[in-house]
Structure 1
Amino acid sequence: MKKYYFLAILFCSVILHAQERYFLNSDTRLYTSPNTSAEFLGYFKYGAEVQLLSESKNGWYKVKADNLSEGYIPEKFVTTRLNAADVKVRDNENPLIEGNDNYYGSNHLFVLVAGLKARAQPDKNSKIKEILNTGDPVAINYLPKNQEEWVNISGNFSDEYAKFTLRKFVGKRPDFNTLLKEFDKLDVTNIQERKTVGERLVELAWNSNSATLAPAYQKYYEVVKQINDPKLLADTELNMIIAKGLAKHKNPEEILAFVKKSEFVLKGVKTKSLFLTQKDLVKIFGKPVKKATISDECSVYLSDLFYYYPDLEASVDEKQNQAEITKVFINENNKLVFNANATLDHSVSEKAFVEKYGPYIGASIKAPHLYSIQLEDSEFKIEFRDGKLFNIEIFFYC
């Protein structure tokens, strides 16, 4: 019985050890052998998590980095808890950037290329988790030396969050003016390279001051006209109008004054401040196609109960006889009225919308054809499909 008791204790000890998380309380490197004179595979930054693969031996651990590389690090830098009193030993050759540089709050680098595919595993055939843009900051705690190796750009071991790309695609934040000069130096007949650099210019501009958007699109439009693809031309021309509007963006006070009296008109009925009674909702639209209870962690909606109609969605408090519009599908029956001179209805095209309301809207290259207009504690999310106004959602902030 004693033997089994001993094995049980040993088994529990191994499990507890495996569940322990380990972090680095200093910059260090991943060495090929337990010796600081040995070759090293990459750089760790303070706060990096590692997995221990062995017990400490002569002051060294064998560990696994978050990109799945294995090697050795000094035991003195390994801890189960980080705190403000840690005395960090900085590695001046470490390329990783510490947080609080106005771009990102933890260790990071930036995406250097356009349309970067972040994958679920360090394998070019694995699932694409996200498409990243030039200038996007990405969390990195371990950076391999080899440009052709994979780097985990989530700073996390968890399969749920881990994302991988090749080391050569991340680095110091690109400089807009340098890219602009690079574009201008290219031979006009080198269409593919001009397109590549033009895409980087545009994406970096979206990640920079909005004043850089117009000059970026002017350069990109040069090569788009050379390619002469109708869809690419139309999309670029639309984005050039958006860029023009964003360059003249109104301040928050002006935007709030513009939308202050907004109301939906649903089948001819005005919904002052987006509210109406539950009885009026049913009277106008009939019984909902579906009812559902949706947990709202932020408690920003009127109720957890939602009514779903072909024309709209609403948060409903049946006991209090109240309904709050949360989404409206725009058709000949429904529209949003900002004021007597500004209405969004089914006749408004996307181009006409951005031309008229460009200075009031928020837009992103990562969500094309989706725009926002700020309210006091929420915003209108305005979606277009095939150039036509599709729906307007009221998105509440936590």
Structure 2
Amino acid sequence: MKKYHFILFFLFSTLVHSQDRYHLKSDTRLFTSKNNTGEFLGYFKYGAEIQLLSENEKGWYKVKSDNFSEGYVEAKFVSKTLNAADIKIKDKENPIIEGNDSYYGGNHLFVLVAGLKARALPDRNSKVKEILFTGDPVAVNYLPKNPEEWVNINGSFTPEYAQYTIGKFIGERPDFNALLKNFDQLDVAAIPERKTIGERIVELAWNSDVSKLAPAYQRYYEVVKQLNDPKLIAETDLNIAIAKGLAKPKTPEQIMALCKKAEFILKGQKTKSLHLTQKELEKTFGKPIKKATISDDCGIYLSNLFYYYPDLEVSVDEKQNQAEIIKVFINENNKLVLNANSILDHSISEKAFIAKYGTYIGASIKTPHYYTLLLGDGHFTIEFKDGKLLSIEIIFYC
């Protein structure tokens, strides 16, 4: 009986040991054996998290990396904690970039392809957690030597945060001018290749600065016209219009001046600069279909109590008889009046909105059909769907 107790204790202690958080306090490699024969599976960067799979074996641990590869590292590099006194030995051949550039604060590499699918597990059939774009920085602490292997691009063992892609899709940040040159050298008849490079150019331009958007879309539009896809042509025309507006932006002061006296009109009821009383709210809209208390650690809302209506979300302070509009769904009854000449209602199309406000708005390729307008302590998020204005939300800064 004692023997079984001992075995159970050993298994339990080993499991707990393997689940403890350990880190590498230097650049090193994941070796295939504990004798450092030179054969290795991949590169670790300082700070990489590992799981221990064995006790210290003559100065070596068997470990698991964040992409589930198993191998050996020297025990002298393993630590429960990291601190400023760590003496980092840099591996000059390690491709992982330290957090000392202007793109990312930790160990990282960059996405090399357009529309990269980051998956929940190292499996092509696994759930897609995020779509990444050419030039996006991604956290990398362990990089397999084999480019066909999976890489954890969030550097975490925690399933909630871990994301995976194939190693060949990440690397040093792509060079915009090199991509342009690559595109220009392709045969005009090589449409699939031109489309692939064109998509990368556009995404990298959005990840760089607005001055690169014009030459990017110039190339991409050549391919779009060759494909002759009406939907893609319309989408690209819209993005070109957005890019032109972003290239000539109004100053923050000019944008905030446009929105300074903004107010919603809801079923004919003016909101006095986005606010109204609780009594006015219920007189106009009746009782909410739902009430809920939200978490607001920053204290940015009037109250943690929210009222939800079919076309309205409001923060309500019942004791003070106050209500603050958070989100409005635009229809024939609801609109946002910026000033006498600037009204956002159900009749305005996305194309017309871009034509009139393109120099005022913020936009991103990662959130198509969403636009921002600065307020003093936040911004409007304006959403279009199928070319029509769907909703306007007020986002306050923490």
- Please say whether Structure 1 and Structure 2 have the same fold, judged by a TM-score greater than 0.5: yes
CA distance, structure 2, for counterparts of residue 145 and residue 23 of structure 1: 20
8 A contact 2:19–2:51 mirrored in 1? no
Partner residue of 1:276? 276
CA distance, structure 1, for counterparts of residue 10 and residue 51 of structure 2: 20
Partner SS, residue 298 of structure 2 = coil
Deviates more, 1:279-288 or 1:203-212: 279-288
Deviates more, 1:345-354 or 1:35-44: 35-44
CA distance, structure 2, for counterparts of residue 155 and residue 93 of structure 1: 20
1:39-54 pair list within 5 angstroms: 39-54=39-54
1:132-281 pair list within 5 angstroms: 132-281=132-281
The answer to whether structure 1 residue 387 and structure 2 residue 387 are counterparts is yes
Q: Deviations over 1:19-74 (max 9, x none)?
A: 42110000000111112333111100000011111111111111111111111111
Partner SS, residue 156 of structure 1 = coil
CA distance, structure 2, for counterparts of residue 346 and residue 382 of structure 1: 12
CA drift of 1:389 comes to 0.4
The answer to whether structure 1 residue 74 and structure 2 residue 74 are counterparts is yes
Aligned length: 398
Give the AA of the match of 1:206: W
Partner residue of 1:24? 24
8 A contact 2:17–2:52 mirrored in 1? no
Give the AA of the match of 2:267: K
Structure 2 unaligned spans of 5+: none
Q: Deviations over 1:64-108 (max 9, x none)?
A: 111111111111000000001111000011000001311001000
CA distance, structure 1, for counterparts of residue 277 and residue 359 of structure 2: 34
CA distance, structure 1, for counterparts of residue 59 and residue 311 of structure 2: 67
What is the TM-score of this pair, normalised by structure 2?
Answer: 0.96
Q: Deviations over 1:168-205 (max 9, x none)?
A: 00000001111011111111111100000000000001
Q: Deviations over 1:295-331 (max 9, x none)?
A: 2232211112111222211111111100000111111
8 A contact 2:22–2:51 mirrored in 1? yes
CA distance, structure 2, for counterparts of residue 88 and residue 195 of structure 1: 43
CA distance, structure 2, for counterparts of residue 333 and residue 124 of structure 1: 47
Give the AA of the match of 1:64: K
Give the AA of the match of 2:34: P
CA drift of 1:13 comes to 4.5
CA distance, structure 1, for counterparts of residue 6 and residue 310 of structure 2: 66
Give the AA of the match of 2:69: S
What is the TM-score of this pair, normalised by structure 1?
Answer: 0.96
CA distance, structure 1, for counterparts of residue 293 and residue 26 of structure 2: 48
Q: Deviations over 1:340-379 (max 9, x none)?
A: 2211111110001111111111111111111111112211
Give the 3 Å change call, closer, same or farther, for CA 314–151 of structure 1 in structure 2: same
Give the AA of the match of 1:287: K
Partner residue of 1:125? 125
CA drift of 1:253 comes to 2.1
CA drift of 1:255 comes to 1.6
CA distance, structure 2, for counterparts of residue 231 and residue 84 of structure 1: 54
Give the AA of the match of 1:20: D
Partner SS, residue 363 of structure 2 = coil
CA drift of 1:254 comes to 2.1
Structure 1 runs of 4+ aligned residues shifted over 6 Å read 1-9
Partner SS, residue 188 of structure 1 = coil
CA drift of 1:14 comes to 4.1
Give the 3 Å change call, closer, same or farther, for CA 139–75 of structure 1 in structure 2: same
CA distance, structure 2, for counterparts of residue 18 and residue 185 of structure 1: 52
1:89-128 pair list within 5 angstroms: 89-128=89-128
Partner SS, residue 346 of structure 1 = coil
Partner SS, residue 246 of structure 2 = helix
CA RMSD, aligned part only?
A: 1.7
CA distance, structure 2, for counterparts of residue 332 and residue 355 of structure 1: 22
Partner SS, residue 307 of structure 2 = strand
Give the 3 Å change call, closer, same or farther, for CA 115–9 of structure 1 in structure 2: closer
CA drift of 1:280 comes to 0.6
Deviates more, 1:247-256 or 1:363-372: 247-256
Partner SS, residue 58 of structure 2 = coil
Partner residue of 2:56? 56
Partner SS, residue 308 of structure 1 = strand
